[in-house]
Structures are given as structure tokens and as C-alpha cells.
Structure 1
Amino acid sequence: MTTTVADDVRRRVARLAAATLVALLAVSGCSDTQEEPVETSTEGGPAAPPQEAPRPDVDFDVEVNPGPDAISVSWSLTNTGAAPLLVVDRVPRASGASVAYDPEVTYVVGADDGTVQVAQRLYDLPEGDRISYAQLPRAGATELAPGDSLERDLEVPLPLVRASPWGDDIGFGSIELPDPVTSVQYCLGVVAGDPEPAWGLDRTDDGILLNHGGGAVAAQHVLCSDPIPLD
């Protein structure tokens, strides 16, 4: 009998109502010394994934089409391997007094050379972070069994607005997107391997929640489209 990721997940009481778009009760660790504000997400924002985790056995197709009002993204992922995968395809958004993990929402962060990434993936703790987090932010994932496929169509409104699980200030000043934005790239996180408590595993009706900045980041491989120029 095949053992799924869901079978290995410890069933805990859902803490969805307590979640927020960023970690709850973030406490600043800034000193009195003021430093120069961070201007782009390549200076204090999420770094490019190191890709220490090998690429899983998947077929990944993605189309990124910038339009006048939004960037349209269509992607499909097929698990061609023998083990289940977790696809990080749900980004939190406000839903009344709580949080919903939405497959049509993305993170939006800057990268090198004027590129902006619209992404559904996990992020490690930012380097030099001056913020202490009472709870790590989370993203939602869908389990993809061997042989199964997953498809998504989403739109990212223009103009682009930065959205990071760590917020726009990690203790050094406001982090902004590149100006001008010259290209856009879509990225998707896929987590493989046996689940571990360090992943921050929680189940909801829609899937599994994983921590940013936790063990699941090291088990994640990030699949990206080519950068698409913006006119």
C-alpha cells in the first residue's frame, strides 16, 4: 500500500484562525542606530533559492503573458516519479478576521537586473533579519500523488505590488521592488522527501500548511519560467 505524505502528517488542531499574512506578534530587534533604507528586495529581501534539493521527477509547463492590466500565468505539473510531492501552490490572504490560503494569489518579490518574481514557494529567513517572529509565516501546499497532475490559471494585477511572507521591512528600512521593472518570472516550489516536524506540518480542509524559514525550505526545489520582458 502506498504511504502518502498525508498519512505521515501528525494531526494537530488547526490554527488557521490564529495565522496572519506574516508572523504574529513580530517584535523588532532594531537598535537606535538608523541605517540606510533598503531599496530593492535584492538588498535584504528573499535571496535566490540555492537549489540544494535535487529537481524532482516532474513535467512542468508554464506560460507567462503580461497584459495591460495583469500578468496571466498558466502552469501544469505532473508527478512522474514514484513518491508523493507537496506543491506549494497556496499563498495566504486576508479573509475577514482570519486567513485563507489561495491558489490564485502569489508572492511578488524583486530579483536581479530589474526582474520581479511572482511566486508560489517557500522562503528562507532573510539574511541579517532584525525581526523576531512569535510564529513563522506559512504557505499552503497540495499533495500530488505519483502519476497525478495539477493545473492552475492565475492573474497578478498590474502595477505590481510587493508581497513577501516576511513583510516589507526586516529592520533596515522599507524594501521595494526594482524600479523600473524590466521583466517578470513565475516560480513554483515543490517539496519532496519524508515529512519532518521541522516542516511545521498542519492540515486544513484544502491541504497542508508548511512553514517559511523551516526545514521544508531545504527540501524544496524551485521551478521557474524564463524571465519575460515587460514593454
Structure 2
Amino acid sequence: MRKILQSIEEQAGRKMQTPKDFQWLSDEIFRRFHQTLSPSTLKRLWGYFPSVRQPHPYTIDILTRYAESLSQCMLAKGDEFQSVGEYLSLFGICDKQETPDFYWSQPLPNHLGIVIWSPEYQHPEWHNHGDTSHLMPTITEWWTPTDADATLADIRNHDNYLRSVSFNELRITFMKNITSEGYTFLGIYKLAPSSTPQRLVWQRIAERLDLRHLDQLDLLRQ
């Protein structure tokens, strides 16, 4: 039971410490399963109220299912995917294309200025550099193609910078080849103040993504 309770807190991103927390959890469980666990029951499980009784199997079953449902709706830094289609499907996007450009920066449906970003670590033309030992807390991006002159590269990098600034862009980032041949979810990134028109520096601002509440992503722009 202790592991179940810890899993719920970690995946919900919320410590159960106050009456308001337990009421929230009771409401969340009812909203999802239309089954009731009272705040008082939850308080006893978390030790907010003293209790000498063992949890009822009904209670254990509901909390186990709730923890499992959270794990299916949450993305956490380090989660791995074998294919592009596997993570695009989480956002309701059907993988019908096969060209790398489609994956590079795919707009999140119905969310202006939020993109699903799929850079390749140390790509030969798109240089995505950072600290892999900490799963890229920042990603420095710039374009230097092998078949174009420096002026063209400067123009394109400058355009990317202006677009990112004007849209106050957020990037939901899955990086290829960072820990395996697949894709690793790194978190949500925002343009850092140290960015320049020649070097875009993306800074991780969230390590988790709740797929049930994508509308809350806009709060990260502030």
C-alpha cells in the first residue's frame, strides 16, 4: 500500500498533506471511476488520521486502478518510445508521413505555438547539443547545412529565432539517439533568455506532461 500511495503522489505531482488535498483526490477518483473513496478514508491511509485497521480490498483495488490510470496519462522525463508513431498517437496524430521534416516540428493540434519537437542528438546539420548525463536540461540548437553558404544559414537561424519568440513557443520534446536508437521524452522546453538569432537555447521548464490537461500548458508560458 505504501508503494501505491507513493506512486499516486509522484504521478499526480501532489503531496497528500492537507484536507484540501484529500478532497481533491476523492473528487478525482469519483470523476474517473464513479466510485467513492471518502476524504476520511484517504486521510487514514496516508496517516493524516490514526488507524489500526487494514485497508479494505475495495479500497486497495480502486487506488491500484487509479495509480495505473495515472501512469497511462502521464509522460515523465526519461520515458522511451520505439517509434515516432508511438508518441504521436498519444496526441491524436496519425503517423502517415515518413519524411524526417514531418517529425522535426509537428504542431500540437488546437494549441497555437506549441509543437511536438523531435530533434536528433548531434544531428550533422541541426546541432542539438547539451548535457546527456542529466537528459539535456538545456538544448542548444543551430543550423549549419553542408550544402549552403553561411548567409543562408544565418537567415534561417534568424527566422527560427523570430518565430519562436513571436509565438512564445513551447516544445514537447522527444529526442532521438540520446539513450538508445529510439526516442526519449525529455520534457517541455521554452526559449531561454540566453538565446540569440544564431543559437537558440531551449531550457526545460517541466519534466512531466499530463495528457489529460494539455490546456494547462499555456500556464508555462508565464
Normalised-by-shorter TM-score class = under 0.3
Instruction: Name the TM-score, length of structure 1 as normaliser.
Output: 0.22
- Structure with greater strand share of residues: 1
Q: Higher RCO, 1 or 2 (CA under 8 Å, sep at least 6)?
A: 1
Instruction: Answer with 1 or 2: which has the greater Rg.
Output: 2
